[in-house]
Structure 1
Amino acid sequence: MAPDPWLPLLAAARQLAQDIAEKLQERSRCQRSGESSAKVNVAIRSSLQSLGEKIEQLREQLLRAVSTRQITQLEGDRRQNLVDELLTRHRQLEASYRNEGPEADVSRSSLMAGGAKRGVTNPWLLEEPEETRGLGFDELRQQQRRIIEEQDAGLDALSSIISRQKQMGQEIGNELDEQNEIIDDLTSLVENTDERLRSQTRHVRTVEKKSASCGMLVVIVLLLIAIAVVALWPTG
């Protein structure tokens, strides 16, 4: 896995902010002792400009990483908080740099609180979230990788559920198609049976009419024979 360039850039920006805070203290000492602070002022001004550029680079890289999904949204929010904190420090350092009065010592002291203690190399780490406090670059990458793996596992589970639901939908659709075919066959069978019944009914009626006609004809023939017999019978 390629190293994340954002984390080293963040560390460099933090270290630069620490250096600026120390230079502000050095300028304060020069002013109190009557020494010239012009050289320190130039260094502070240059460092402040460089810090602003690094913060802008952090914001651009973070936006690119989130938009291309190189990091999770949770990690993106965490990094955005770190950038916001660094931006606030940058503004405080600029305010202290512009403040040339005696009250500047109070601002500088608040900026250096905790950072000037022996053994603390990066005061900004004291304000990091609890879950990342004291973690190195490799540990942060491992944490990010675990978050991504957990999200991937969740996505896989969701994909499996959606796939099963799709399969069930297809099976239900196939069953409905089969039921529709059965209904169509039954409808066709009923229509054929009805047509045959109507045909048989018409045939029976025709036979009945023919039978009635034949019976009447027989009666007429018998009547004519009877009349002929009576006519030919000798009278005595």
Structure 2
Amino acid sequence: MSQDLWLQNYDATCRLAQEIAENIHERNRQQRTGGNTAKLNMTLRASLQKLKQNIAQLRETLIRASTQRHIMQAEADRRQNLVDDLATRETRLNASFNRDISEAEPARSSLMTSGHGSGPAVNPWLVNESEETRGLGFGEIKQQQQQIIEAQDAGLDALAAVISRQKQMGQEIGNELDEHNEIIDDLAQLVDKTDSRIKNETHRVKLLDTKSASCGMLVVIVLLLIAIVVVASWQT
């Protein structure tokens, strides 16, 4: 049995993410060696945009398939986790692409020393420096902040995934309610038809009762007439 289209698109998106990671590594290597990275940066921007679009398409297709019950709920949850992992990977690739690999350690060292002497000068910007950043270079501080941002992005992605699943569950419940309402409407129509038939049959029974009573009276009258004739004949 051939693999379905969603899984094929997912595999292609994973390959695209791997290709982007390799190109970012190559871009960073060229930056370290002083190479020209303009063309590679343009390619990476286009690839990252395509990766974002592919992930959005995977998510939309998955929601549609799950809502229409083309796949089981367990499989839908598994694929949702795959899409969430891809979204997290896409966020990290964007962060890695935008990260400046050159660290300004010499500039920071010059700020820590006096321009006219060899002794260290007091930097007023570092008087209230926290323990987490004390002793770190600018590049390390930037990397630490980037990790915090990535963690926040991952939390937002997880929250978005939960909201998406709740929305999907709400849609499924709404569909089931619509089906139940249709069943109730059908039952109401059947009850109305049955009630109408019962009323018709009751009316017919009443007519038969009336006709039966009329026939009985006629029979009694005929019998009385016959009795009168017999009595009259007997007397004569």
TM-score (normalizing by structure 1): 0.47
> Taking CA–CA contacts closer than 8 Å with sequence separation of 6 or more, which of the two structures ends up with the larger relative contact order?
1
Q: TM-score normalised to the size of structure 2?
A: 0.47
Query: Which structure would you say has the larger Rg?
Result: 1
